[in-house]
Amino acid sequence: MRAMFPSSALVLILITLGSVCFAFDVTYDNRAIKIDGERKLIISGSIHYPRSTPQMWPSLIKNAKAGGLNAIETYVFWNAHEPVQRQYDFSGRLDLVRFIQDIQRQNLYAILRIGPYVCAEWSFGGFPVWLKSLPGIELRTNNDVYKNEMRIFTTLIVNMLKKHRLFASQGGPVILAQIENEYGNVEWAYGDAGWKYVEWCKDTALGYKLDIPWIMCQQDNAPSPMISACNGWYCDQWNPKSNSTPKIWTENWTGWFKDWGSADPHRTAEDLAFSVARFYQLGGSLQNYYMYHGGTNFGESAGGPYITTSYDYDAPLDEYGNLNQPKWGHLKELHLVLRSMEKILLYGDRVDNNHDKWGTRSVTVYSYRGQRACFFSNADTSQVFTFDFEGVTYHIPPWTTTILEGCYKEVYSTSKVNAQTSIMIKADPEPEGEDDYGSEEAPPLEWQWTTESVMNVDHQGLLAGTHLASNKLLDQKIATNGTSDHLWVLTSFDINMKDPVWGKSKIVLQVKTEGHVLHAYVNGFHIGTQYGETSHFSFVFERAIKANFLKDGKNYLSFLSSTVGYPNYGDHFDTWNVGILGPVKLIAKAFGGDVKKDISSSQWIYKTGLQGAQLGFQSGNSRHARWQVNRRPSNKELVWYKTTFPTPLGTDPVVVDLQGLGKGAAWVNGYHIGRYWASVNSPEDKCSIDCNYAHSYHPEDCNTNCGKPTQRWYHIPRDFLRNDGENDLVLFEELGGTPELVKFKTVTVGSVCLHAYNHQTVTLSCQGGRRFSDIKFASFGLPEGGCSHFRNTRCHAPRTRQIIEDACIGQKSCTFDVSQETFGVLEDCKSQDYRLAVEAVC
Ligand SMILES: *[C@@H]1O[C@H](CO)[C@@H](O)[C@H](O)[C@H]1NC(C)=O
Ligand SMILES: CC(=O)N[C@H]1CO[C@H](CO)[C@@H](O)[C@@H]1O
């Protein structure tokens, strides 16, 4: 326990800044983070500013606050801010200061995880790829070249925030900062140098004299005064090694991310609430939802490799910023209960009474100055926990924590979800200037197209731009510096067609690549395309070259090698190679054995990026593009497509359906909305219809969307759209597909279901100005079944439906008490555990 911020210094700062704003004094003890000397219960959620847009930030933060959070956490994304060494970008989605100020405006705390290694499923874990080109560099270890770059960047961030007085010691919202990230998981792989690096991180951080505590998550041996923190699905059993630091949970995974080729993971509201309630039961004082809003991996920011553009994460706010119900609402109730008990939990005495050796079934009593709070918890996966407490018999269902005010009044149960379930739909948008066109189809889109030119070593476009020559094959990171997914790898070879081996036999091109996608051309003719998978990026490409593609003498060999995100996790992940590293061979399949010609050490020419991108095709109005209307190709690789569309009315989020296309990249009005890969499906058999939450979560537990495109819908934030006039959508199609099925939709609540317990006050809500139009089901009593298959039992209040209709039809939202007073007295009931079930259409 130590004060990080002597009060004399506080006074000094206030005087020197001459500022009217109040500085907060942030310290900690073994129980909690303390603000102005008071222990604080902190419930935080991760929102990564570049995964949404400045227009979205205020409403994301507002919905987080309404969801009961009192802090927002973000990483800082080095490679987004410094894409080229010493050229910085803090504009638009990268305006970190504005994001933190938005948090401040809504009176929330901020937690700043600078890293600058961040993992985060972000390309290269946030490291600029150009770091790899600095001579002598080794990342994440005690290496001077690396430490120098890291220090320059972290110093820049710290100074920028200081300048805007965003640290708590200056009156700002930032109460905690983090350096490095999850290094404890990999430190062993860096030996002695790893430990020296951790010490250096500490010294660097403390050198900034921010007068706020620093954390190092997943770093059990974090050197004092750095606070170690836990990351995981559950952190209730985790305790800090140091007895002077509080129990902090920096990453509580609310769901999981998705790879191209996998199904949609879900983590239930019940399980997530259970993990959080147990964490606070067992002495936790700060926890952060990773993610509270996952958002979108715009541009080429997704990592992996092979992580999708959607980073929805099944978070409480969905990819587009909508409430993900019932998760958002169920957690909100928990947060309000926990925060109402803040003093008792953080200042009280805690007594745990375990009913078995492992504490699977446990009763925790907190008491403080005559006030009490209890947690009854059952981590058994199948048995009900039945016990007597102060003369009352309790039955706690499996995988449930129940919280009792004053230890007698149940105020929350993690397995009783009272919040509405929202069934989201993709609705037809109403275009500007037209009246409601009802069920009529939107007019078909008009498409234009042009092709990407296939480079060769003598191509004019190549010679006009910058390129790189090498007589050995290069790692793609080194050749591109991470500035584009696409790299042309070019050479030429001579063949003497008069030589019987080369003239008469079947000639095969064989290429070993470390991934991720390879397109091969000989003399401009397409020979084939191949890609790797999440678990094995590298592959050997082998295709026959048709005899008439070859010429006597000089032949051009062109590869377009594409990356689908750089790796972001693992010890030394930065040293994994990518791209064509060879060997590259021509093999003549002749009688009497194969004759091989290894051309790996020819003269190679490297050209980063697409020709079309260099000419500005993605902005839609490039004068250099020869857009054509007729004879639109379908299923041809390397084609650019372009169309225009009106801005949908209203406020609901906008998405584009890219069904029918293969793989590529999409831009709206020049904004890169991300990679798409609509032709890759999720596995047929990884989904489960009934999702049982009563066990330790695993990302494969509750999958949906099997056998369908991994990602069919792509988010177009409204700040990318024009207020008046048409918008451009440009696609670069890499594999081949057709744009015929492309459609624009808005995402909104289609219908809602409710299954609430007696004595609750509940609200049903539509979204985006829509109103309730129909009540499909309503029963107060003992209804059975679930959403879309509710049914009455004999225990049913007959007027329920009428009452709900009167309250809700024509309304955007409606609120009522679930009780006999509202719906009428019940007869014919075996139990008094009354519930209200409703299914309503927006
Ligand atoms: C990549 O960036 C580094 C650092 O700025 C620079 O030294 C190197 O020349 C760049 N490489 C290429 C291929 O542009
Ligand atoms: C240990 C580990 O894999 N940590 C990662 C867990 O997941 C989050 C995001 O999904 C990453 O940011 C962590 O680094």
Residue 794 clears pLDDT 90, i.e. is over it: yes
Residue 48 clears pLDDT 50, i.e. is over it: yes
* Closest C-alpha to ligand 2, atom 14: 119
CA nearest to 719, candidates 446, 252, 177, 320: 320
| DSSP run (H or E) holding 559 | strand 553-562
Q: Classify residue 810 by burial, with Cβ atoms within 10 Å: 0-12, 13-18, 19+.
A: exposed
What are the residue boundaries of the structural domains of the chain, listed by start?
40-324, 347-416, 423-451+613-746, 461-609, 758-841
Q: Note whether 40-324 and 347-416 share their fold.
A: no
Residue 380 clears pLDDT 90, i.e. is over it: yes
pLDDT of 13 reads 41
| DSSP run (H or E) holding 204 | helix 191-207
pLDDT of 253 reads 85
| DSSP run (H or E) holding 463 | helix 460-464
Residue 5 clears pLDDT 60, i.e. is over it: no
In this predicted structure, which of 60-74, 415-429, 584-598, 600-614 has the lowest mean pLDDT?
A: 584-598
CA 217 to ligand 2 center in whole angstroms: 11
- Cα separation, 253 vs 239, in Å, equals 18
251 flagged as catalytic: yes
Confidence of residue 24 (pLDDT cuts 50, 70, 90): confident
CA 481 to ligand 1 center in whole angstroms: 6
Confidence of residue 500 (pLDDT cuts 50, 70, 90): confident
Ligand 2 lined by 569 (C-beta under 6 Å) = yes
Cα–Cα separations (whole angstroms), residue 505 to 542, 546, 553, 587: 16, 11, 16, 9
Annotated catalytic residue: which of 73, 149, 182, 839? 182
Mean pLDDT calculated for residue range 526-531: 97
Mean pLDDT calculated for residue range 236-246: 86
- Per-residue model confidence as pLDDT tens digits over 796-808: 999 999 999 999 9
Handedness of CA 795, 797, 798, 803 (dihedral sign): negative
pLDDT of 431 reads 60
229 CA to centre of own chain: 21
pLDDT of 9 reads 41
Q: In a mutational test of the pocket of ligand 1, which residue from 85, 87, 149, 474 has the highest number of ligand atoms less than 8 Å from its CB? A: 85
Write the CATH number of the domain with boundaries 347-416: 2.60.40
Residue 19 clears pLDDT 70, i.e. is over it: no
Atom in ligand 1 nearest the alpha carbon of residue 481 = 1
CA 470 to ligand 2 center in whole angstroms: 37
Q: Is 681 helix (H, G, I), strand (E, B) or coil?
A: strand
Mean pLDDT calculated for residue range 594-608: 95
Residue 441 clears pLDDT 70, i.e. is over it: no
CA 266 to ligand 1 center in whole angstroms: 41
- DSSP annotation of 508 reads E
* Closest C-alpha to ligand 1, atom 13: 479
More confident residue, 21 or 726: 726
> To which CATH superfamily is domain 461-609 assigned?
Galactose-binding domain-like (2.60.120.260)
Ligand 2 lined by 454 (C-beta under 6 Å) = no
Residue 319 clears pLDDT 80, i.e. is over it: yes
Annotated catalytic residue: which of 180, 187, 251, 733? 251
For residue 543, count other CB atoms closer than 10 A to its CB.
Answer: 16
* Topology (CATH) of 423-451+613-746: Jelly Rolls (2.60.120)
* Ligand 1-lining residues (CB < 6 angstroms): 85, 130, 133, 468, 481
- What number of CA atoms fall less than 13 Å from residue 666's CA on the CB side? 29
Pick the CATH number of 758-841 from 3.30.590.20, 1.10.10.60, 3.10.129.10, 2.60.120.740: 2.60.120.740
* Closest C-alpha to ligand 1, atom 8: 133
Cis peptide before 653 (omega within 30 of 0): no
- Per-residue model confidence as pLDDT tens digits over 639-680: 999 999 999 999 999 999 999 999 999 999 999 999 999 999
Write the CATH number of the domain with boundaries 40-324: 3.20.20.80
Q: Over pLDDT 90: what percentage of the chain?
A: 81
Cis peptide before 444 (omega within 30 of 0): no
| b/e map 761-791, b = 16+ CB within 10 Å | ebebbbbbebebeebebbbbbbbeeebeebe
CA nearest to 199, candidates 238, 147, 139, 243: 147
Helix and strand numbers (H, E) in the chain are 15, 41
| DSSP run (H or E) holding 81 | helix 78-81
In this predicted structure, which of 117-131, 430-444, 605-619 has the lowest mean pLDDT?
A: 430-444
Written as six digits, the tokens of 442 are 């939107």
CA angle 550–552–554, rounded 5-degree value: 85
Taking the model in full, what pTM does it have?
0.94
Residue 696 clears pLDDT 60, i.e. is over it: yes
- Per-residue model confidence as pLDDT tens digits over 167-200: 999 999 999 999 999 898 888 999 999 999 999 9
Ligand 2 lined by 119 (C-beta under 6 Å) = yes
SS3 letters across 329-387: HHHHHHHHHHHHCHHHHHHCEEEEEECCCCCCEEEEEEEECCEEEEEEEECCCCCCEEE
Atom in ligand 1 nearest the alpha carbon of residue 133 = 3
Torsion angle defined by CA atoms of residues 399, 405, 407 and 409, in that order, rounded to the nearest 10 degrees: -80
Q: Over pLDDT 70: what percentage of the chain?
A: 96
Ligand closest to 571 (CA) is 2
8 A C-beta contact, residue 510 and residue 520: no
